[in-house]
């Protein structure tokens, strides 16, 4: 009986080790984000009243990630200029609860889990690596664009380049055009954003995206 138990324990241990060793996406998604972070560290800071790291992007957008997901509805946040969406037909009275309008910006708040995050207020890359570790099921790889991505909500993602030195789309904010259409937006007319269709998991999906070519 003891031998059987030892054999089973060894088999499980080997299986877990193999899974860990073959998790290339999990490992490389962290190293690639760290490289993006280090190349753009001057544009990233921890904002204490938000308890989030804020990555200030060209054209006045921000990508933000929190340090505490428990009891927090704003784990990941996009802040984008509202004007192009309003000009394309957005009815701000139709915004769902997770999207706020402050008179200038649309603030997309994504509540992805209640998981404990290992945070470091001096290093946003460490915090984001913990987010990846605790949400491995939400991390994917887009072969066509050579991007890693974190799924935030159906149709919403943030993606970052596998190699920022060779990719001209270092960071991409992705919105759900279907939901925006329900809010009155003509997704083909949102200035500065691109409406497109791509294949994901053998099915075609619609995306409204904004890529950033950073350092």
Which residue, among 116, 121, 118, 117, has the nearest Cα to 54 in the 3D structure? 121
User: What is the Cα–Cα distance from 28 to 22, expressed in whole angstroms?
Assistant: 11
Per-residue model confidence (pLDDT) at position 198: 85
91-146 residue pLDDT tens: 999 999 999 999 999 999 999 999 999 999 999 999 999 999 999 999 999 888 89
For the segment 42-67, what is each residue's pLDDT rounded down to a tens digit?
999 999 999 999 999 999 999 999 99
User: So what's the pLDDT on residue 22?
Assistant: 52
Q: Decide if 175 contacts 90 (C-beta within 8 A).
A: no
Q: Residue 195 — very low, low, confident or very high, per pLDDT cuts 50/70/90?
A: very high
**How much is the pLDDT for 25?**
84
pLDDT in tens, 82-104: 999 999 999 999 999 999 999 99
pLDDT at 7: 37
pTM: 0.87
Q: How far apart are CA 107 and CA 74, in angstroms?
A: 10
pLDDT surpassing 50 at residue 6: no
Which of 81-85, 122-126, 193-197, 198-202 is the least confident region?
198-202
Task: Give the residue-averaged pLDDT of 175-181.
Answer: 98
Q: Give yes or no for residue 34 having a pLDDT over 60.
A: yes
Answer yes or no: is pLDDT of 12 > 90: no
Average pLDDT over the chain reads 89
CA-wise closest residue to 185 among 60, 62, 82: 82
């Amino acid at each position: 009986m003891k031998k059987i138990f030892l054999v089973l324990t060894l088999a499980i241990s080997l299986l877990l080790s193999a899974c860990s060793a073959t998790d290339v996406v999990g490992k490389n998604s962290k190293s690639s984000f760290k490289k993006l972070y280090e190349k753009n560290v001057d544009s990233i800071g921890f904002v204490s009243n938000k308890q989030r790291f804020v990555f200030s992007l060209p054209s006045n957008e921000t990508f933000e990630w929190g340090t505490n997901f428990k009891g927090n509805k704003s784990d990941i946040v996009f802040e984008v200029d509202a004007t192009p969406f309003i000009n394309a037909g957005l009815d701000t009275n139709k915004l769902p609860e997770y999207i706020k309008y402050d008179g200038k910006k649309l603030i997309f708040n994504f509540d992805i889990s209640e998981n404990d995050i290992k945070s470091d207020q001096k290093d946003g890359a460490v915090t984001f690596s913990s987010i990846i570790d605790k949400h491995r099921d939400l991390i994917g790889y887009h072969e066509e664009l050579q991007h890693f991505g974190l799924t935030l909500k159906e149709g919403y993602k943030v993606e970052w380049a596998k190699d920022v030195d060779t990719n001209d789309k270092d960071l991409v904010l992705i919105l759900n055009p279907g939901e925006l259409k329900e809010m009155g937006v003509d997704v083909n007319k949102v200035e500065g954003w691109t409406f497109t269709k791509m294949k994901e998991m053998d099915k075609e999906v619609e995306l409204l995206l904004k890529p950033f070519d950073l350092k």
